[in-house]
Amino acid sequence: MTTASVISAELAGGGWAGALPMNGPGGDRCEQLPGFVGVVVPFVQPLREWFDELVGNPVATASVAESWEGASRSLNDIPDAVQRAASSLADLDGRTIRALRERHEDLQKIALDASEWTAATAGALRLASRIVDATRSYVCDALVQLAHLADELFTFDLNPLEIAERVEDFARAAFDLIEATGRLVTDVLEALHALGALLQRLLPVVAEAIDDIRQIVAGMLPLATALSGAPFGPLGVGVGLVLGGAAQNFLQNSTDVEELDPDRLHGDRRVAWDVSQAVTHLSSLSDLVAVNGTTDAMGVGDATVIDVKKIRGADGVERWVVSLPSTQDWQWGPDTGALNDRDSNVALMADNPILRTAYERAVLQAMSDAGIPPGGDVVLTGFSQGGIMAANLAADRTFPYNTVGVVTNGSPIDSFDVPPHVPVYAFQHVTDIVPTLDGNVFDETAPNVNRVLMPGPLSPLAAHDNQTYADSVAEWEKQYAQSHGGPPPGLDVLTGEVVDHSVFTTHE
């Protein structure tokens, strides 16, 4: 029996409630409560305090119970829906269908378990509501009884000699009632504590179930959307697979981010590491573009690499330059290797304001591990998908850092709403089709966005190449300085001496 089933049985069994009353003494005794004055008050104060503590609890507990009952009803429908969906695959076959059918079976099992413990929790909370309401009613009944006793014992014709004797009688009666009611209240509080302990044990089970459901659904999305596109032929299957993969990217778990160990790099990847470490000063926009090439070369399709340089500008202010990798994994096979893949490319362009892609979460973790303090000044730079990520982060109002500049090359970023105080340099070859994929190539840019169109090679592959971009940007800067008598504006914020350098990596 699973942990969830054990807890569900304990909740549904009601053992935590003991022999507590489920119903009060009858009638709405709390509506009959009189006020207590004079010598009576000290003897009934404990009951009044208990009443004040319990007065709101029945309504609050009942409200929570209703929420859980609603969730239970909704979950009860899921196993049947999953079964119907699985039945629709009965006449189909193939590796994809078998994988999807297994996902349906896993989801149905988790949904059944969730329905079980949700129903048990709802029932336990409803029972707790009834117990609290009954206890509150008993407290009110005790107060009403004492009020009636006070009316009988204390009259206006009492002489002073009789007051002490009658107060003693009242105190004795109040003590007996308070003692009995106090035991009841204590038992109720202990029962609620036991219920709370059971629910606390259930929390990690719930969290694990939610994570399992998310991962199962994430695994189903590419297969399900590919099948939904099947009626439209191979193109429909391809589009469905891409869109499903993008949706999966939002749901998949975060990956472990660690500092890159150069001893694990070989060949061209190790050469790229050595080149990146030789950068001691960022002096130009072409320098910022060039580092994107080494960032890509350190990871290629095997891993995602994020390069973080701490620089000190000419003004003495320390900032961080974060170089973000472009699409290196086009996922023609199993979805392994770099997070900066085809799926995350599409997902980033969706610019979801609530969910973050696995790639985006990895970047944020790397920036935190690099020691960038919350609110620290950062420059974001990236080629192709790396530029999309840079614009995505700069446009994110929840981004925990202060973006002071964005530099992209070969990236379709016009659809991102980067705040007007953040300067953006968007370099594009006129022969590169990738920057036009957002459909905004002929639109006017925002005042803070400097879209720089440059001549490029006629070959699409050569036009969309980071080293070619670095050379083109260097030539543009040279021409700009000649025609304007100085470097492009804002360069002092984007450049500086490298005083610290860290490189991080992760993979699927």
pLDDT tens track for 468-481: 999 999 999 999 99
Residue 309 and residue 353 in contact, taking contact as beta carbons nearer than 8 Å: no
Are residues 328 and 392 located together in one domain of the fold? Answer: yes
> Range of 319's domain?
254-506
Q: What is the pTM of this model?
A: 0.64
Residues 6+ apart with CB under 8 A from 500: 309, 310
Are residues 261 and 215 located together in one domain of the fold? Answer: no
Residues 6+ apart with CB under 8 A from 62: 126, 129
The DSSP result for 3-57, as a single string, is HHHHHHHHHHHTGGGTT--SS-SSS-GGGGPPP--GGGHHHHHHHHHHHHHHSSH
Q: What is the CATH number of the domain that holds 107?
A: 1.20.1270
Are residues 441 and 497 located together in one domain of the fold? Answer: yes
The pair of structure tokens assigned to 193 is 């504590």
Are residues 334 and 394 located together in one domain of the fold? Answer: yes
Are residues 162 and 213 located together in one domain of the fold? Answer: yes
Residue 408 and residue 426 in contact, taking contact as beta carbons nearer than 8 Å: yes
Separation of first and last alpha carbons in the chain: 33
In a domain, 31, yes or no: no
Question: Which residue is listed with tokens 């105080």?
Answer: 421
Residue 97: pLDDT above 70?
no
> What distance in Å separates the CA atoms of residue 259 and residue 504, rounded to the nearest whole number?
4
> What distance in Å separates the CA atoms of residue 302 and residue 439, rounded to the nearest whole number?
31
> What distance in Å separates the CA atoms of residue 391 and residue 401, rounded to the nearest whole number?
13
Confidence of residue 182 (pLDDT cuts 50, 70, 90): low
Are residues 268 and 200 located together in one domain of the fold? Answer: no
Helix (H, G, I), strand (E, B) or coil at 452: strand
pLDDT, mean of residues 103-117: 69
The pair of structure tokens assigned to 433 is 């089709």
Nearest to 434 by CA among 416, 406, 408, 467: 408
Are residues 136 and 283 located together in one domain of the fold? Answer: no
pLDDT at position 354: 61
Are residues 186 and 270 located together in one domain of the fold? Answer: no
Are residues 211 and 304 located together in one domain of the fold? Answer: no
In a domain, 25, yes or no: no
Distances (CA, A) of 366 to 30, 155, 250: 60, 79, 18
In a domain, 445, yes or no: yes
Are residues 264 and 212 located together in one domain of the fold? Answer: no
Last residue of a domain, one of 195, 220, 245: 220
- 218 versus 402: the higher-pLDDT residue is 402
Helix (H, G, I), strand (E, B) or coil at 278: coil
Phi (first) and psi of residue 348, to 5 degrees = -65, -40
pLDDT at position 37: 42
Residues 6+ apart with CB under 8 A from 191: 16, 17, 18, 20, 128, 131
> What distance in Å separates the CA atoms of residue 483 and residue 466, rounded to the nearest whole number?
25
> What distance in Å separates the CA atoms of residue 78 and residue 380, rounded to the nearest whole number?
44
**Segment (H or E) for 372:** none
Confidence of residue 196 (pLDDT cuts 50, 70, 90): low
> What is the DSSP-derived secondary structure letter of residue 337?
S
pLDDT, mean of residues 258-263: 93
In a domain, 70, yes or no: yes
pLDDT, mean of residues 170-178: 66
The pair of structure tokens assigned to 212 is 């399992």
Q: Could you give the residue ranges of the DSSP H alpha helices within 353-465?
A: 358-369, 385-395, 460-463
Question: Which parts of 329-448 are beta strand (E)?
Answer: 377-383, 402-409, 424-429
> What distance in Å separates the CA atoms of residue 56 and residue 6, rounded to the nearest whole number?
31
In a domain, 402, yes or no: yes
Are residues 193 and 286 located together in one domain of the fold? Answer: no
The separation between CA 156 and the C-alpha centre of its own chain, rounded to angstroms, equals: 68
> Per the structure, how many domains does the chain have?
2
> What distance in Å separates the CA atoms of residue 497 and residue 282, rounded to the nearest whole number?
6
In a domain, 2, yes or no: no
Q: How many Cα neighbours within 13 Å face the side chain of 449?
A: 23
Residue 442: pLDDT above 70?
no
pLDDT at position 371: 95
Task: Find which of 50-64, 69-83, 89-103, 261-275 is predicted with most confidence, using mean pLDDT.
Answer: 261-275
Are residues 327 and 415 located together in one domain of the fold? Answer: yes
The pair of structure tokens assigned to 460 is 């699409």
> What distance in Å separates the CA atoms of residue 325 and residue 340, rounded to the nearest whole number?
7
> What distance in Å separates the CA atoms of residue 256 and residue 366, rounded to the nearest whole number?
10
In a domain, 1, yes or no: no
Confidence of residue 289 (pLDDT cuts 50, 70, 90): very high
The pair of structure tokens assigned to 104 is 């349906």
Lowest mean pLDDT among 146-150, 322-326, 442-446, 463-467: 146-150
Residue 438 and residue 417 in contact, taking contact as beta carbons nearer than 8 Å: no
Q: Are strands 424-429 and 402-409 parallel, antiparallel or unpaired?
A: parallel
Confidence of residue 370 (pLDDT cuts 50, 70, 90): very high
Last residue of a domain, one of 165, 197, 220: 220
Lowest mean pLDDT among 1-5, 362-366, 446-450: 1-5
Q: Mean pLDDT score of the chain, rounded to an integer?
A: 76
Distances (CA, A) of 464 to 282, 299, 326, 327, 433: 23, 18, 11, 12, 8
Confidence of residue 302 (pLDDT cuts 50, 70, 90): confident
Task: Find which of 156-160, 343-347, 442-446 is predicted with most confidence, using mean pLDDT.
Answer: 442-446
Residue 493, amino acid: V
Lowest mean pLDDT among 192-201, 394-403, 439-448, 457-466: 192-201
The pair of structure tokens assigned to 99 is 């994988």
In a domain, 241, yes or no: no
Packing angle of the helix pair 342-350, 233-251 (nearest 10 deg)? 80
pLDDT, mean of residues 74-99: 61
